[in-house]
């Protein structure tokens, strides 16, 4: 982010980016733990993933409040406005990723001992692909590298293929 005449604005924008990246780290961990819980049939780990979703939800709410405050008080334009809107959209997507990890863990708990090895390898492969893409997109966000973000988007079909093959 560029430096502004009002240094507090620069600090606020940096804090916004930091919170988005923290939220991204939490969702990355949720995906990894969800895959481990699924592979092992570990209901305790699944329960911890479900609990972790509360922190992701709280961070999204905090980010939304901060974004609305920045829009109202700072009236950003150009690059700053794009960065703030990107933070809003990214945080929304990260919250959704957390919800999906939570939902898999809820299903795992509901299945109980009937879990077996159903779809284990597929879930492992898909979660690995998702974690790699999530890491790549968070790196692109942190470095403001649009081309890296586009590259992730262009490879999204791989995850769609994993998803579709799991339900065939």
Q: Locate tokens 């973000």: which residue?
A: 149
> What pLDDT is attached to residue 134?
95
Q: What is the DSSP string of 13-64?
A: HHHHHHHHHHHHHHHHHHHHHHHHHHHHT-HHHHHHHHHHHHHHHHHHHHHH
pLDDT by residue (tens digit) across 88-112? 999 999 999 999 999 999 998 998 8
CA pair distance 149, 140, nearest whole angstrom? 5
Residue of 97, 98, 76 lying closest to 85 (CA atoms): 76
* Spatial contact of 75 and 26, defined as CB atoms under 8 Å apart: no
pLDDT of residue 116: 62
Provide the pLDDT for residue 1.
56
Supply the pLDDT for residue 62: 97
Res 143: pLDDT: 94
> How many beta carbons lie within 10 A of that of residue 140, not counting itself?
18
pLDDT score, position 167 = 63
Q: Mark the ranges of the chain whose per-residue pLDDT is less than 50.
A: none
Could you report how far apart the first and last alpha carbons of the chain are, in Å? 45
Give the residue carrying structure tokens 């990890």: 101
pLDDT at res. 120: 76
What pLDDT sits at residue 125?
Answer: 86
pTM of the predicted protein model: 0.88
CA 28 vs CA 24, 33, 78: distances in Å? 6, 9, 30
């Amino acid at each position: 982010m560029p430096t502004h005449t009002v240094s507090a604005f620069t600090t606020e924008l940096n804090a916004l980016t930091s919170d988005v990246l923290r939220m991204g780290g939490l969702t990355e961990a949720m995906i990894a733990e969800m895959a481990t819980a699924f592979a092992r049939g570990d209901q305790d780990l699944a329960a911890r993933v479900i609990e972790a979703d509360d922190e992701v939800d709280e961070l999204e709410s905090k980010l939304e409040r901060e974004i609305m405050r920045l829009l109202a008080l700072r009236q950003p334009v150009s690059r700053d406005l794009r960065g703030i809107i990107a933070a809003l959209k990214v945080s929304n997507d990260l919250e959704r990723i957390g919800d999906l990890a939570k939902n898999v863990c809820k299903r795992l708990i509901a299945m109980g001992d009937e879990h077996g090895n159903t779809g284990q390898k597929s879930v492992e492969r898909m979660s690995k692909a998702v974690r790699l893409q999530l890491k790549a997109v968070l790196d692109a966000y942190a470095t403001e590298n649009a081309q890296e973000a586009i590259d992730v988007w262009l490879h999204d079909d791989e995850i769609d293929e994993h998803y579709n093959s799991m339900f065939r």
